[in-house]
Chain A
């Protein structure tokens, strides 16, 4: 299980995209993992043949636990987990790892991906959990008959009215344990209330009531009752809350701000955009990011991590860019080596990342490894952003909206487009003078956009 974020402790394997015997090469997407924040595609860090899948879909395992064995090409024995080795992998104790290998696999793993679209559709329709279906087709493939069989066995989603479902969630009643009195045994609001009443205990008793009658199907660990009851949005809220609380608790922030004249940058951008096809036109964000990346090379004290009581400079400038998601919450995809990308390339990269972030389709390597983060709330119309640093990074750069403002220059007042750039920095790693040099560099670079 790769670490897909500095705060990540465990992840739930959602889906395997490969099966034993498949040949994989480094960089292939092999599985989908759900973190508290989003579903992330996990890439393979080794080439070879997939041996055994060690973790069944739906299982939550700690960061560092092996997910599968990959047999290196030409070698049969050297089967090692190489799922990921990102920036900071907490040292998972060896003995636990061994335990993890054995624990969650009760039978030859049922591979979610081994069900065709028709079967998946049918399963959806019948409310059958595919991870709980034993495949009888060739290679353990789940067939139509398997799904139908399970549906008949009572793998069926309990029939309940929308109101009953809502009540059940509110009162923490397991619908599977409630006898329905509605038409065809549908569970209705009164049934749920009655069940909650019978329980007559405080909320924690819910799990116990549920347990005795919980059917013996569900051989695989379910992602945790609490997790299931908590909607994704709430989980993300909590994850952001944890991380930001930690940042504010541990990092002594200092803040600087400067207002930058953007007329040169915007004029250059307009001229460039006139030559470019509509799809490739650049936004000011590309120039701002590029300027930040270049400034981070010039003033290296802000680009990197605070680790084990000391500052560790980043290798390369990998800029995180905060994207607010439509359903609430944040993602911070990373533009790797932003300092070496031309603004147009950076724009393309940014567009792609933002778009996929909003669709929840970022890869693991794309949300990790950031050395410095930029938060721009310009499109929300605010003038300045005073951000909270994303640990273990040591600085966060904020940009507000580019706005027209009266501007004094050489004793004359004119109207200029300006942007407020802010810096939140970790006082353990740097002092105000470093931050000031950094913001001045950003300003200076934006005055000569053609050099960026």
Chain B
């Protein structure tokens, strides 16, 4: 089968369609996922295809419908719950942290919670401070759940199936800026490995570590750097919990320099965790302090120029990489 041109949104939809077709226990629910076709159009047409029993619109109560999903998962279903944005997911954080993530432990292994929770994250679309934050790092802090961040069409298409197959809760973060990204999608070949980070571009001088919506920016930064003779390796973390330390350390051991790019706020961020692990595990490989490029520590602004200034951008990433590589001797 040849590759087909598609978008990130369509790839997600195709994954949902496949899951709904393959397993009767799978159903989708969330705000406006049915008649409206999803707040970001991901589930467009699915209610017509699978009916309102399996593509369910819910009231505006994150705590209630995420809790319902957890209950359904315990009862043997394989729910996919869509939360409109990570900002709103905080209303359901009690359900996710205190129930979904703990029940296997607290029941002594008797209960599994095979729920998949999808949510949009990130800024860049002028949706202002209540719809734009990147709180993936908060979720990556929680033991008991798996946290995934598809950044490519292949991952958008392929991560749902292994997430549904996982007997424990999986949270999938879809960056809002990626939905319209289009490209060639290779046909699916077997189940996707969701435990590993991926080297998206090979290089020798510096490792740029990122995930999700920042990946395209970091790849542009690598292009900029290549023009200056700096060869940057780009690692896409893909799995934010657990982190794939082996791939990260292997890359740093080759390049001896690392810059972590994370749209979350710098303080207490996922970038901080990655940086700490590098100093713990690859300290004697480091030829420069680990750099971080994160969002400015402000609520994400609405005005376009301010929003752009607050977010990591390719030029800033390139600057941090130059700093790490230093005067080339």
Contacts and interface: CB of A to CB of B under 8 A. Distances in A.
Interface in A183-216: 183, 188-191, 194
B287 A164 contact: yes
A194 B288 contact: no
14 contacts: A161-B286, A161-B287, A162-B283, A162-B285, A162-B286, A163-B284, A163-B286, A166-B285, A181-B326, A181-B329, A182-B326, A188-B288, A188-B329, A190-B329
A163 B329 contact: no
B305 interface: no
B256 interface: yes
Nearest to A192: B287
A191 B328 CA distance: 10
A188 B326 contact: yes
Contacts of B285: 162-163, 166
B284 A166 contact: yes
A183 B326 contact: yes
B216 to A, nearest CB: 30
Interface residues of B, number: 11
Interface in B272-293: 283-288
Interface of B: 256, 283-288, 326-329
Interface string A156-189: 0000011111100000000000000111000011
Nearest to B289: A161
Contacts of B326: 181-183, 188
Interface of A: 161-166, 181-183, 188-191, 194
A383 B326 CA distance: 58
B287 A189 contact: yes
Nearest to B327: A181
A181 B288 CA distance: 12
Contact of A191 (B283, B284, B329): B329
A149 to B, nearest CB: 29
B29 to A, nearest CB: 50
A372 B189 CA distance: 69
A74 to B, nearest CB: 58
A261 B106 CA distance: 46
B327 to A, nearest CB: 5
A189 B329 CA distance: 10
Nearest to B323: A183
A188 B328 CA distance: 10
Interface centre among B287, B326, B328, B329 (most CB of A within 10 A): B287
Contacts of B286: 161-163
Given A162-B283, A165-B284, 9 more contacts: A162-B285, A162-B286, A162-B287, A163-B284, A166-B284, A183-B326, A188-B326, A189-B256, A191-B329
Nearest to B326: A182
Contacts of B288: 161, 182, 188
B72 to A, nearest CB: 49
A183 B326 CA distance: 7
A73 to B, nearest CB: 54
Contacts of B256: 163, 189
Interface centre among A182, A183, A188 (most CB of B within 10 A): A188
Nearest to B256: A163
Contact of B329 (A161, A165, A166, A194): A194
B287 A163 contact: yes
A162 B257 CA distance: 11
Nearest to B328: A190
A183 B288 CA distance: 9
A188 to B, nearest CB: 5
A181 B326 CA distance: 8
A288 to B, nearest CB: 42
A194 B329 CA distance: 9
Contacts of B287: 161-164, 188-190
Nearest to A160: B287
Nearest to A163: B287
A182 to B, nearest CB: 5
A194 B283 CA distance: 22
A165 B283 CA distance: 11
